[in-house]
Structure 1
């Protein structure tokens, strides 16, 4: 009776107390005392055992490291979970890392109310390397970061270690992330100095028991800038020796160091082309230095040069000639789309085209082009859109996922990267609902066959259900757990799941529908500025380069009569994109310059469809406010108010986007906004004069927005 009373008190406290989001999806109470045994204890299995002893409320668990038949052809971090009628639950894996993932999986099932009944689980990751990319600078600023400063306090390291470092490692391990790049791809050479490598070692030591390897972004000119050499030419013997010595130095400090991420000859950064060399020369030189230590090079394909034609074609043009020439410890890191993390892009044609070189997808978790941490935009549907796209490179069913995970092309290295949205904000991500994207990346990196809805429902249940409520769910061997979700969970999950699943499409609709892209304001990529024209700036940084609006129509002609980017896609996809009648309408302005009076599948003209779509996005943003407000009695007060405030900003911004774009494009279409569409509330002339103060935007009032 006393135990039941304490559980009820925990339940009440869980619902009544405010939360700050710092616990993420790991909110299980630590009041269990499970019996856990392990056949081969290690720092990693010790953490698995500790997690289970604190949080598992079922029968005894045995952790067994062994190589049995199920694992013979599977990655080392695969695992099984089995319930044995008389002997409790066993978690087995060839490695301690797999044991840890199995422990977190079992706890996840418990928190979801799915740990009862027969358990016969075999889990294996689709990608070997599941890595976060931090765009963190050494001064603790974060490029495209919207959640405070960098987690890494370099000034205090290695002497002072924040408890957030271990919390970060734990959160990542709980969703299967096993690697992290600590610093910005626009890297400072100083990260490779002896002083900073000692700091990196301190982080690596914390992350290691959670199965997380550390990687670093490097500046290609480090031999000259840091090492004092007269050149950084990759074919220079002294330069090659410098990199080998530096690799030896790193691995002496960090024996399990993962390797380097390289952004070279991109956006003004140095690279092998500065010396008349190629990407192959640069990547292979660094790969040779890492090879003895089993390190890898992730070489980014994000390259584009002014005046070289359609920017969307340039990565393909630059890397395809080198297919098969890279060392076997080099993998090419390719953004999901051919331009730059736009709200909607077709997949990059490099996926599948490079048949003899490992290629890894790079997605952006931080919302550089999707409203920063002010807008809710659940990105699993966006990433699934890319991963599930059929390249047709090996016939029907040759999806980007199967091309890059080793299913169709044998790859020594398989990997997927996410540019993270994590910072020092108490809730880690700047927006409570943005935590769902960190969670979703980890889950999809482990298993890209999961649906966006499945992941959303998991995250909602783990993040908003009372952490005490699962204490009341009996976990009984040999019986199916028939416990029904409580009314709070079913209400929150139903409403919030719908909101999340609609959110990314809503952002596309009120920002850049029908294949429009890169209409953002100069520099910060937040608000709309389709009229932007900076004297002397690169054309491919200007919105008009992409929308090409004129009196005849709008959109970028990438067909055979234009830039012919459609030819980079395998048949029949290239032909489908090339024909306006078969091109998907959500990409029609990406591939075609479309007349204003072109009839869409709805029967409307292109102009009317554009107006209706922008308006639909605004109405969805408004509906998100209503949905969230309806959940007030189910959500703790602090998180409710925090998200409510963000949703007000999002709706205000959605109206701003709609008005700015429609009023501007109306100057070319010379057509009225259709009846039934909410009329603009802003004046285009005032919007053109306005310059957004990002730092004060959250606190700005409506009347302040369009004052110069």
Structure 2
């Protein structure tokens, strides 16, 4: 105890002079010393039996020791005898000691789950972490570390967990030249780096540890707008190096491929999926990949979308194109993830096109094909209804795709905690098999007994020191992984975990930050696209407001006017029976509910209806006044978040506090920009005044419309 007091005094006066600044580089794995009361709960667990095993078991063992050294300020004492140990970790614990209920618990864990259980052996209290696989030991170890990080009591434990989805992937939209499409945290961590591979190994291991800590077990290393060169031997070798590094962390690598690769790099006449020569080319290429990467995960394909080539170029269906690749991958256990993000200049409502193209193909895809569907029917908007494709393809596995990178939510400038958005979608009831048929249950295998269950998140990771550009954007990577593992978790519980692991256990810090996080997404919706408005962003950059944009010769469904339809008569996109009839793609009672403006949820009302400016909302206000109040409320919320953060000065390190404070100032300023740009523009159609009790706009509309967007200004 005396030695600890000396260390404490040194830490108060000397260590701050030499300590490295907090950069966010360690993410939520900082392993800083725990509060004394939490340390006391785990003080009896330094003696550990860790069953020997594979490289996966070894990284779990190293992680546990690293965590104890940081959080408990003392390393572990590893034992060969379980009776001398207080913490027992391994697959074979039940064979070495009789522990009541452990065998039954392990039967519920599947191939990746784990058990964390309190037990007595020879009258001595123990904690057991056990699983059926090395991957389960890895995840169970990280779960135990998370218990420590968040201060959970180690008493009376009986935790049995397994993942809700089999495949839990990050999709990196990283280009081979090192740029990242819709990435706001610097260049690609994978491609076109000047440093050699060995010098970056620790950086990649941090990435792998972070993913393993939340249960992510797959990563697509390149952009869905794929460069055909990725299938050349040089790049396959690079994929193999990354696969070797990530393998101990139970992470498989996947590759986005260009459908026209046989013609572009293979020298074939075309890439027709029904031509035998093309089919053989893919089989040979797949064999080449598996020779270097025996556990390669498979292909992600964006086809016949936004100018990308695909089977429809040859009069073939999506199923015929996907099945060709599936046949090549099937002998090796690989899968095809075929994206359903498709739209063409057909004149039909863009929100309907994924359903129209894919639902008629249900049952025609091979078993190792998964159709990857964005959470909403248009394109990762701040708020959308769930895609009607969910639940509509009983015989085809569907992989829900979320966007972690904030393409339409203020890039890495705006604090927008996305777990509430993801929960909103996952918990939406599709009614396809009666009440309770949530989006989560239509994709996790609960309702349809399909071969695969899967989920994907478009990564927000780059070379910025803090990985994600905004310190709070780390929470979206973390929360996605936690929900991919267990979609029943509450968004606020995940936020509390992350805050304690990343910043502080101090309640006076945790509660205000939780408040900021939980109101942040709705604030963004309000100052950007309230009441179901969508795609009001600049058509090319997707950052600032440009509801007025009208580009000659541009496709209508790339422009904001296509979506808001503002005129002197009203605003909104009519997707009712009298409009595009997109409501028809939803099951009852949703179809009728969405079809009627009187029953349609008001946070989606302008998604489904074009309404007059004087339409009476449930509040009694006109639509125009309601719109004004939402926009102003969004700005008020941004200001409140900034003020709440300002009051936390001194409670965490200065570096991260200042960085977040700076970002919140940008967010507040740009919330006003959004509010004024949208309301002043829509006012030219409504001709109605902004309610007198609201402050006057800070900008002039003509000035805003002439503003040239600078893609670097958000930094």
Partner of residue 685, structure 1: 702
Is 1:600 aligned to 2:617, yes or no?
A: yes
Q: What is the Cα-based RMSD across aligned positions, in Å?
A: 1.8
Partner of residue 524, structure 2: 507
Partner of residue 260, structure 2: 221
Is 1:8 aligned to 2:5, yes or no?
A: no
Partner of residue 26, structure 1: 29
Deviating above 6 A after TM superposition, structure 1's stretches of 4 or more consecutive aligned residues are: 13-16, 30-33
Distance 2:6 2:342 in 1: 59
Partner of residue 567, structure 1: 584
Distance 1:157 1:73 in 2: 44
Do the aligned partners of residues 291 and 655 (structure 1) sit closer, same or farther apart at CA in structure 2, a change above 3 Å counting?
same
Distance 2:645 2:191 in 1: 36
Do the aligned partners of residues 552 and 344 (structure 1) sit closer, same or farther apart at CA in structure 2, a change above 3 Å counting?
same
Q: Secondary structure at the match of 1:560?
A: coil
Distance 1:145 1:632 in 2: 30
Do the aligned partners of residues 88 and 522 (structure 1) sit closer, same or farther apart at CA in structure 2, a change above 3 Å counting?
same
Is 1:629 aligned to 2:646, yes or no?
A: yes
Q: How far is 1:29 from its partner?
A: 4.2
Q: How far is 1:633 from its partner?
A: 1.4
Partner of residue 233, structure 1: 272
Partner of residue 111, structure 2: 76
Q: How far is 1:15 from its partner?
A: 8.8
Q: Secondary structure at the match of 2:619?
A: coil
Contact 1:521–1:529, Cα closer than 8 Å, also in 2: yes
Contact 2:106–2:115, Cα closer than 8 Å, also in 1: no
Contact 1:373–1:434, Cα closer than 8 Å, also in 2: yes
Q: How far is 1:384 from its partner?
A: 0.4
Contact 1:140–1:152, Cα closer than 8 Å, also in 2: yes
Within 5 Å, give how 1:125-140 maps onto structure 2.
Answer: 125-140=163-178
Distance 1:241 1:35 in 2: 57
Contact 1:36–1:49, Cα closer than 8 Å, also in 2: no
State the Cα deviation string for residues 197-241 of structure 1 (Å, max 9, x = none): 111111111100011000010000111111111111111111111
Q: Secondary structure at the match of 1:351?
A: coil
Q: How far is 1:36 from its partner?
A: 3.3
State the Cα deviation string for residues 88-139 of structure 1 (Å, max 9, x = none): 2221111101101100110110111114311111011000111000000001
Distance 2:311 2:164 in 1: 33
Q: How far is 1:60 from its partner?
A: 3.4
Partner of residue 356, structure 1: 395
Partner of residue 468, structure 1: none
Q: Secondary structure at the match of 1:4?
A: helix
Within 5 Å, give how 1:427-446 maps onto structure 2.
Answer: 427-446=466-485
Contact 2:550–2:559, Cα closer than 8 Å, also in 1: yes
Distance 1:646 1:216 in 2: 34
State the Cα deviation string for residues 546-589 of structure 1 (Å, max 9, x = none): 00011111000000000000010000001100011000000000
Distance 2:10 2:223 in 1: 42
Contact 2:411–2:543, Cα closer than 8 Å, also in 1: yes
Distance 2:424 2:473 in 1: 19
Moved more, 546-555 or 689-698: 689-698
Q: Secondary structure at the match of 1:695?
A: coil
Within 5 Å, give how 1:116-127 maps onto structure 2.
Answer: 116-127=154-165
Partner of residue 336, structure 1: 375
Q: How far is 1:73 from its partner?
A: 5.3
Which structure is richer in relative contact order (CA contacts within 8 A, separation 6 or more)? 1
Partner of residue 455, structure 1: 494
Q: How far is 1:69 from its partner?
A: 3.4
Q: How far is 1:163 from its partner?
A: 2.0
Partner of residue 335, structure 2: 296
Within 5 Å, give how 1:270-285 maps onto structure 2.
Answer: 270-285=309-324
Partner of residue 376, structure 1: 415
Q: Secondary structure at the match of 2:568?
A: coil
TM-score (norm 2): 0.92
Contact 2:109–2:132, Cα closer than 8 Å, also in 1: no
Q: How far is 1:54 from its partner?
A: 2.7
Q: How far is 1:675 from its partner?
A: 1.3
In the comparison of the two structures, how many residue pairs are matched? Answer: 676
Moved more, 281-290 or 9-18: 9-18
Distance 1:222 1:30 in 2: 52
Contact 1:75–1:124, Cα closer than 8 Å, also in 2: yes
Contact 2:22–2:656, Cα closer than 8 Å, also in 1: yes
Partner of residue 670, structure 2: 653
Distance 1:274 1:546 in 2: 28
Distance 2:535 2:3 in 1: 58
Distance 2:233 2:391 in 1: 40
Within 5 Å, give how 1:537-548 maps onto structure 2.
Answer: 537-548=554-565
Partner of residue 60, structure 1: 86
Q: Secondary structure at the match of 1:339?
A: coil
Q: How far is 1:39 from its partner?
A: 3.4
Contact 2:170–2:220, Cα closer than 8 Å, also in 1: yes
Moved more, 52-61 or 527-536: 52-61
Q: Secondary structure at the match of 1:353?
A: coil
- Structure 2, unaligned runs of 5 or more: 35-42, 77-84, 95-102
Do the aligned partners of residues 141 and 428 (structure 1) sit closer, same or farther apart at CA in structure 2, a change above 3 Å counting?
same
Q: How far is 1:7 from its partner?
A: 5.9
Contact 1:75–1:128, Cα closer than 8 Å, also in 2: no
Distance 2:250 2:474 in 1: 21
State the Cα deviation string for residues 237-281 of structure 1 (Å, max 9, x = none): 111111111111111101111001000000000000111111011
Q: How far is 1:308 from its partner?
A: 3.6
Do the aligned partners of residues 550 and 70 (structure 1) sit closer, same or farther apart at CA in structure 2, a change above 3 Å counting?
same
Q: How far is 1:75 from its partner?
A: 2.9
Distance 1:27 1:688 in 2: 45
| Counterpart among 57, 60, 70 of residue 48 in structure 1 | 60
Q: How far is 1:11 from its partner?
A: 6.9
Partner of residue 522, structure 1: 539
